[in-house]
Every structure is written in structure tokens, then in C-alpha cells.
Homo-oligomer: A and B are copies of this chain.
Amino acid sequence: MAVGPVTINGSGKSALPLVQQMSKDHDIVLKTFRMLISDLCQQFGGGHPGGAIGMAAIGVALWRYVMRYAPHTPDFFNRDRFILSNGHTCLFQYSFLHLTGYKAMTFDQLKSYHSDRVDALCPGHPEIEHEGIEVTTGPLGQGVANAVGLAMATKNLAAKFNQPGYDVVNNHTWCMIGDACLQEGVGLEAISYAGHLKLNNLTIIYDNNQITCDGSVDLTNTEDINGKMRASGWDVIDVEDGCYDVEGLVRALEQARASTEKPTFINVRTVIGLGSNVAGQAAAHGAAFGAPNVAQMKKENGFNPDEHFVIGETVRKFFEDLPARGESLVQEWKDLVKQYTAQYPELGAEFQRRMSGELPSNWKDLIPASFPEKPTASRASSGLVFNPIAKEIENFMVGTADLSPSVNMIWPGKVDFQHPDLRTTCGINGNYGGRYIHYGVREHAMCAISNGLAAYAPNTFIPITSSFFMFYLYAAPAVRMGALQHLQIIHAATHDSIGMGEDGPTHQPIELAALYRAMPNLLYIRPGDSEETAGAWIAAIEAKKTPTIISTSRHTLPQLKQTSRDSVARGAYVLEEAENAAVTLIGVGAELSFALEVANKLKEKGVVARVVSFPCQRLFEQQSLEYKRSVLQRHRGIPAVVIEPYAPNGWERYADAGVCIKRFGHSLPGKVAYKYFGYDIDTLTEKVHGYLGQVEKDELLKHEFVEL
């Protein structure tokens, strides 16, 4: 990496003179911090003290000297983002939030760690809901990918909005990691991708303490990590004495911020649990040190062992000007935006709209009012519905895990999100202002990066991901984190059901819907034709605090007269009503038309059937009891039979019987696969008919879900 005078993006001056001026207090600040962490864990006899203690000097370098943020305006739009990917060391962050003056993080709140306070702001891992926390972390590796998404958000906004002399968006993203984030696949995927994108506004700070739960990292990882990072397109900076050398850390962080070409990996050697009698050992990782040990540490550091949670005047003073510094940063930026808006009124207005998280009010009008009547694969319907929106509305960043030809998410004239140099070196038409993202075959990182994009500011970005539905099992931990964090992300999942055919059982998602239907705060929607696909996208775009999976077919589906986009929002609705019905047939998604056809066949046998379309269980659950009963009519004693080539689990709530699948799939052309599993109209009709006869004979069956 080029070495030279450091210019700091967006501030232009180095903190080093200030570091030298304040360095006399570093010793007491670090000691106080370490005693505080020990006390906080000792209080309720649990938690993760070791990492936080080892990282103390890193925190001082970041929060006191390098990071640009505003404790009293936590949502300052252009703030630097800090991600604690090793989320179990959360006391590290909580303590600095307290020391630097975040209002919510009172001393009382700080002491709530591991308490039984239900309203505590110090949960076992950082949570996005709380002031000063950018993303929820805990499951390892996720934070690295989130940080990549946050850095991409900055690049995209900067490319769109910044003008000469007006860097209205230029924040840096700092990601703290431990050894595990370099072992987890999702972290490795994201690292590789960030190197490709040359995200010079992203820095990973590696708390290299060489200790994991099991002991030395050497037990499991002996690779040359710096070499690996360089080969992945990162600059590498080593900091040898990460426990004490605040100045060296500030130099490294400033050098990272000044990087012009690549993301930076700062490899910081630290000692876990420094100063305790388990320093440098796995025992320091996930348990309180014990009262005698904490007392001993205090004695050795010149503290009174009988006093707890001591933060002296010097330490308070050390941090006290940070809220004011933050507010002046905010004011400077506000002034800049004001001038910018005066000079570029259209851009200024658009910038305000993006910051507000509101979509243009006409977004729904961009969806076609009707669709071709010819049979259409719902993955194609998805493109018909959404691509006009993606083209016009720049909140949407549309990504795919290397399935562009399959998922139909390319709009005419789309430009890739890429480093602009790639045009020269590889002839690729893209720049940071582009909004189509080739994630590579990295489904897990795609979804975790999307969480980062969405977390930049509420609804400023609405990330779209796309892949085969089955591969959302690879991405499931990140999809879950999106749901947990109430982030609006739309997952366009194609090739659902066994109808996807020849790719076989590894690609046929028999049991996956059961996961996503059970996952809190997530909509799993299977639309049955283009009209319902429009309804699915509308529901997804309107769900501003909820991610959605829109699950579509590879194969063509008939377009049905009875479907309604507006009804999708109710989760289920009556597609065909009938007086004196003997059965309600529930149809879902790619197999919805089967239910209608079976109803017709049953009519030939003199059996009257109602038909219900059931695209989304969670949306249906949100309806009133009256509505639910009016749709299902089971309370009137009419049995309901669901037809879906998935595991039945969960349908028992809505149906008395089901034609479902409890084994893995089979590699066969789509239509043949349907027939092989009994999903041809004749077999389905016979099964339903047979069931109705069976129930008449055996009353007991009414108490049991019957698999047909």
C-alpha cells in the first residue's frame, strides 16, 4: 500500500496531534475500561469479558479519535458506521456508547448487562433497535457481510449524489471482527466480494487474540491470513501492540480511511482477558473472571478492590467533548446539504426523499394493469411486475447470486454496481452508481450484504436478492437476521416446487417453506399467476419493516380469471365459491390451477367443491377470525384439502387433509415429476374423492390430518 501523508476522507485532518496531547490519560482510561468490563461480567456471574478487555485500546482509537459520529444525534445520516461482528464482545461497544455520551446508554442501563431487566439496552449481543447500534450481530461472520453492504450503500449514494465540493455522503464503515469471522463461510464470501468491488471505504479491524472457545486458534486455523487477505484484494496493516499502542492504532485507522484503492484489513495483536489470571487463555472468553481474580486485577492496577463500576473524573473528562464534536459534525453536514440543495435542487430533493425512506407515491402505477393471457412462468411474471419499478425507483438495489438468466430481474438499460475500473480491465459496464449487483455464487453473503444495505438508513435502500428458492437454505441465517431486524428486503426466489424438474432432489425444496412459514416477521408468498405475482410484490413493497420471499415457478402456469392482486394481501381468499360444497380445495402458487381443475373434475362426479387460493400463511394469520372462517368454512363442517407438493407441516392448521410430500424429490422433467408424485388431475381428484368417502365412514378421521 502506498505510504505517504495521510489525508482523511471528509475531515482532511489527522487526529495524531490530539492523540499526543491526550496520551497521558490513556493508561488510566484503558485500566478503567478493563476494570469496568470485569465488574460488569462479575455482577451477574456471566458474559464475555475477555475480548472486550483485549480490544480496549482499539475502542479508544476509534471512538475518541477516528470515527465520525454524533452521540446526541445517533441517526446522523453521514455518520461512520461501526459493526461489531464479534457481537459477543458487546460490552466493548456498550461501554464506549456510555463513555462517549449516548443518552440512552445511562450508567444504570450499562449495568443491566445479564440482568433480569426486560427493558435492558444491553442484551447479550448488540441489537439494532438500540441507540448507537447499526446492526444486530451475534451469529458470527454476518457482521462482515453487513459491513460490506453498508460500504456499498455509501458508494452508491456518493456516486448518485456527490458533486464537486459536495461530498454529502462520504462516511466510512468500520468492522470489528474476531478469529471466527475469518472462519465462517459467510465472512469469507463477503471478504472476497469486497475485494472485488475495491471498497476503499471499508475497514476490517481484526482482534487477533489467537483464542477461541476451544483454545488456541492453532487448533483449527494455521493459514497465512495476511497473505490470504492480500490475495483477496485487500490492503493489510499490522499493529503489533494492540493492547496499549493507541497512537499506532490511530495511524493504522487513518491510513485505512485514506485508502484510495482497496478495502483495508488491520491485523491487531491483542491479549484476551489482559491483566486477569486467565489472560491469553480460552477461559477468558465466555465466563466472568470470579470475584477474587477481579479483586486482584484491581489491586494490581491501583484500584480499590471493594469499589465497583468506578469511572473517575479523568476518564469522564477524556470523553466529554465528544457529543459537542459530534454536533458540530452534524451542523457542518447540514450546512453542506443546504448549500448543495440550493445549487442542485433536483438532486437535493431526491436526496431528501431517499433519506426519508419514502417511495414516490406513484410506484404502484408502474405495475402493469393486466398481463398477457398466455401461460407464463411466475418467475417471468415477477420480472413483468417488478422490473418497471426497479428501472424507475432508485431505492431498489437488485442482486442475484449468479442466476441472471434464470430469475428475470434485469430491466432494460440496467447498469451494474461495480468499481468503475472494471470497465477498463474487464470491459464490464458498471460503476458505483449502478444498481444491479452480480454477487457471484454467494447466496449467504448476498442476503447478509442486503441486510447491511437495508440497515444504512430505514428504507433508503430496499435490497432485492434473487436465486433458486432451494438456495435460500444457504442464505437462511442472513434471511433470519433480516427478519429479526425488521429490515425490508425482498427475496425473489424462483424454481420452487417439484415442477422445477430435472435438477432433481437437491434443488426441489420439499421442506424449505416450513422454515420460512414458521420464521417470525417474514412473509413467504407463493403467487399462482401473474396477477397474484403483482399482489405479492405489492405486499412485499408495502411491508416496510418485514422481509418477504416471493416464491415463483420455473415452468409456465395458466393465467386464471379468478385471481386478484388485491386479495393477496389477505393471505388467502375464495377463488371459487359454491353453495352446499362438500369440500374446500386449497390451492397454492404454482399448483393453484390444479385446485380449480380438480374442482371441475369433482363436479363431474357430482361433488361440489369450493376453491381457496392461499398464497401466504402469515398474511392470512393477520386477518380477523370472521374473515378466516369465511374463507375456510371449516367451522361449518366442510373439510378442507390442501394441494401442495411440499412437506405438509403447518397446513394442519388450515386443512383436514393434504396431498403433500414427505420424502425428497426426484429428477424428472417437471410435468413427469408432478405425475410421478401424484399431482396429475385424475389422481388428485381420486384422492380427494376417496378421502370424502373415507371421512363419511370413519368419523374419527375428522380429528386427524390425513395425508392423501
Contacts and interface: CB of A to CB of B under 8 A. Distances in A.
A341 interface: no
| Contact count band on A | 35 or more
B114 A502 contact: yes
Count chain B CB atoms within 10 A of each CB in A428, A518, A705 and give the residue with the most: A518
Given A223-B195, A704-B634, A213 B502 contact: no
Given A184-B189, A185-B188, A444-B185, A521 B179 contact: no
Contact of A118 (B137, B183, B676): B676
A635 interface: yes
A22 interface: no
Interface stretch (A3-11, A291-299, A316-324, A467-475): A467-475
A212 B676 contact: no
A664 interface: yes
B518 A124 contact: no
B218 A426 contact: yes
Contact of A506 (B179, B223, B481): B481
Contact of A188 (B125, B189, B510): B189
Interface string A507-545: 100111011011111000000000000000000000000
Contacts of A138: 503-504, 506-507
A209 B693 CA distance: 59
A518 B647 contact: yes
A401 to B, nearest CB: 9
A101 to B, nearest CB: 24
A290 interface: no
Contact of A124 (B47, B217, B477, B667): B667
Contact of A125 (B501, B503, B704): B503
B400 A185 contact: no
A442 to B, nearest CB: 5
Given A441-B184, A635-B703, A652-B652, A218 B476 contact: no
A232 B225 CA distance: 8
A400 B629 CA distance: 48
A662 interface: yes
A49 interface: no
Contact of A511 (B188, B443, B520): B520
A591 to B, nearest CB: 18
Nearest to A655: B652
A223 to B, nearest CB: 5
Contact of A672 (B116, B471, B517): B116
Nearest to A671: B116
Contact of A213 (B402, B425, B444, B521): B402
Given A127-B504, A517-B514, A405 B213 contact: yes
A480 B92 CA distance: 37
A452 to B, nearest CB: 16
Contacts of A214: 400, 402-405, 438
Interface in A231-283: 231-233, 282
This chain: how many copies in the complex? 2
Given A212-B402, A222-B196, A676-B118, A504 B669 contact: no
A301 interface: no
A100 B271 CA distance: 57
A2 interface: no
B514 A650 contact: yes
Contacts of A74: none
Contacts of A418: 219
Given A183-B440, A232-B228, A519-B511, A473 B476 contact: yes
Contacts of A223: 192, 195-196, 231-233
B700 A629 contact: yes
Contacts of A476: 473, 476
Contacts of A666: 118, 123
A221 B118 contact: no
B672 A184 contact: no
B428 A218 contact: yes
Contact of A514 (B139, B231, B514, B700): B514
A136 interface: yes
A504 B476 CA distance: 18
Contact of A705 (B442, B517, B653): B653
A441 B140 contact: yes
A552 to B, nearest CB: 17
Given A179-B441, A629-B700, 10 more contacts: A136-B506, A185-B185, A212-B441, A213-B405, A214-B400, A219-B428, A224-B233, A519-B647, A635-B703, A653-B704
30 contacts: A46-B502, A116-B672, A118-B666, A123-B666, A123-B667, A125-B506, A136-B505, A136-B506, A179-B441, A183-B440, A183-B441, A185-B188, A188-B188, A195-B222, A196-B220, A196-B221, A213-B404, A220-B438, A220-B440, A222-B425, A223-B233, A474-B477, A480-B511, A484-B664, A517-B649, A520-B647, A634-B704, A650-B652, A652-B705, A653-B705
Interface of A: 44, 46-47, 87-88, 114, 116, 118, 120, 123-125, 127, 136-141, 179-180, 183-189, 192-193, 195-196, 212-228, 230-233, 282, 286, 400, 402-406, 416, 418, 422, 425-426, 428, 438-445, 470-471, 473-474, 476-477, 480-481, 483-484, 501-507, 510-512, 514-515, 517-521, 629, 634-635, 647-650, 652-653, 662-664, 666-669, 672, 676, 700, 703-705
